[in-house]
Amino acid sequence: MRPCLLFVCLVLLLVSGCRQSAPPREVVVYVSVDQIHAEPVLKRFEQQTGIAVRAVYDVEAAKTTGLANRIVAERSRPQADLFWNGEFVQTLRLQAEGLLAPSSPASAASLPALMRDPQGMWFASGGRFRAILVNTAKLQPANRPSRIEDFLSPRWHGGDLAIALPLFGTSAAQAAALYATLGEQKAHDFYRDLSKRGVRVVDGNSVVRDLVAQGSAVAGFADSDDSCEAIASGAPVQLVLPDQDGPGTLLVPGTVAKLAGSPHPREADALIDFLLAPETEKMLIDSGFFQVSARPGGAVSPCLQGRTVKTMQVGLPQIAAELERSRLDLTAIFNR
């Protein structure tokens, strides 16, 4: 009797390992938006449409490149239908490699030209800012940095300032944007001087947030979502949107793109349309992942306290085009 029972259990386990019994309508999405924020959105889509969502979530440590590389590795046998990215650089990289497919979701109609690809290869959804997080207990209002270039000012000791290594994620996007707007030489000089000053270069934006929140650093470049989280937790910090009297603050929009060779193209279109809808954007702003809509006049996080933000006027493809050059340059500067 017992061997029979064991055999039945084994067969049940083997059967549970096969995915052939999946429901007929499903969509496979690779998600680099944080799981804690993305999951409720995908659940709502499942409830509304009855389409099962099979998601793979990126992890913090992979710094958004993990899933993009998985898509590249799977190019001969695509597994995923779409890529929902918390930023835009990796999406544009996939576009350059010919791994995206066009789509025309109805909810993308209200997106401005800078926030969508003319061929419909990708669309922006929500956004975060590259902000400066300041410790209010350590710096008086008159003494707080308000421009990125202030990080070179002798007013602060280099070791009191922190940045995330600008080779990954949104800090890499910020570096590429500076290379695009300032020009290669000026941007190179800026990062070289930061390095020379002994500004603390740490492994991620969340580390910068922790350093500033604890007072180990007086200011640092951070993402607005991390900054708002620190404010909400009661840390003595303030979010500064840099260069409002100059070129403006860099907006890092999230992006959604259909993948070439998508196994479930119709379901992918439905999910793209859902993810771009203003209601979904608002859901993500309310949960704290985004601070602002990709649409003019759209929802804004209360964390920004109703401020009107001047954003850096640089095209996303222009930033993505600078990424490789800036990465090579910064690798040398920061000795990676």
Q: Can you tell me which of 46, 49, 55, 147 binds another protein, judged by CB under 8 A? A: 55
Radius of gyration of the chain (CA): 22
DSSP string, 39-76: HHHHHHHHHHH--EEEEEE--GGGTTHHHHHHHHHTTT
CA torsion 226-229-234-235 (nearest 10°) is -10
Q: Does 324 bind another protein (CB under 8 A)?
A: no
Q: Can you tell me which of 44, 46, 49, 70 binds another protein, judged by CB under 8 A? A: 70
| Angstrom distance (rounded) from CA 161 to CA 198 | 9
Q: Does 213 bind another protein (CB under 8 A)?
A: yes
Question: Beta strands 237-240 and 123-135: pairing type?
Answer: antiparallel
- Which listed range, 205-213, 250-258, 271-279, 308-316, lies at the site for another protein (CB under 8 A)? 205-213
Show contacts with another protein in window 165-184 (CB under 8 A).
168
Q: Does 267 bind another protein (CB under 8 A)?
A: no
211 vs 251 by CB, closer to another protein: 211
Q: Does 207 bind another protein (CB under 8 A)?
A: yes
Q: Does 204 bind another protein (CB under 8 A)?
A: yes
Specify the DSSP class assigned to residue 117: -
We find the least distance from the C-beta atom of residue 118 to another protein, in angstroms, to be: 29
We find the least distance from the C-beta atom of residue 217 to another protein, in angstroms, to be: 8
In the three-class reduction of DSSP (H, G, I as helix; E, B as strand; rest coil), residue 261 is classed as coil
We find the least distance from the C-beta atom of residue 39 to another protein, in angstroms, to be: 7
- Asked if residue 92 lies in contact with residue 177, where contact means CB atoms within 8 angstroms, the answer is no
- Find the angle CA(124)-CA(125)-CA(131) to the nearest 5 degrees: 90
We find the least distance from the C-beta atom of residue 199 to another protein, in angstroms, to be: 14
Q: Does 216 bind another protein (CB under 8 A)?
A: yes
| Angstrom distance (rounded) from CA 27 to CA 265 | 8
Chain centroid to Cα 40, Å, comes to 18
Contacts with another protein: how many residues (CB under 8 A)? Answer: 51
| Angstrom distance (rounded) from CA 66 to CA 49 | 29
Show contacts with another protein in window 72-111 (CB under 8 A).
72-74, 76-77, 79-80
- Which listed range, 178-186, 206-214, 275-283, 318-326, lies at the site for another protein (CB under 8 A)? 206-214
Element (H, E) at 191: helix 184-197
Q: Does 62 bind another protein (CB under 8 A)?
A: yes
Q: Does 223 bind another protein (CB under 8 A)?
A: no
In angstroms, the Cα distances linking 257 to 30, 68, 142 are 10, 12, 44
Q: Does 52 bind another protein (CB under 8 A)?
A: yes
In the three-class reduction of DSSP (H, G, I as helix; E, B as strand; rest coil), residue 150 is classed as helix
Contact pattern from residue 5 through residue 44 relative to another protein, giving x for each residue in contact according to CB under 8 A and a dash for the rest: -----x--xx-xxxx--x---x-xxx---xxx--x-----
Q: Does 335 bind another protein (CB under 8 A)?
A: yes
In angstroms, the Cα distances linking 42 to 6, 25, 69, 238 are 37, 14, 23, 32
131 vs 241 by CB, closer to another protein: 131
Q: Does 60 bind another protein (CB under 8 A)?
A: yes
| Cβ neighbours, 10 Å, residue 100 | 24
Q: Can you tell me which of 203, 279, 286, 324 binds another protein, judged by CB under 8 A? A: 203
Q: Which residues bind another protein (CB under 8 A)?
A: 10, 13-14, 16-19, 22, 26, 28-30, 34-36, 39, 52-57, 59-63, 65-66, 69-70, 72-74, 76-77, 79-80, 168, 202-204, 206-207, 210-211, 213-214, 216, 335-336
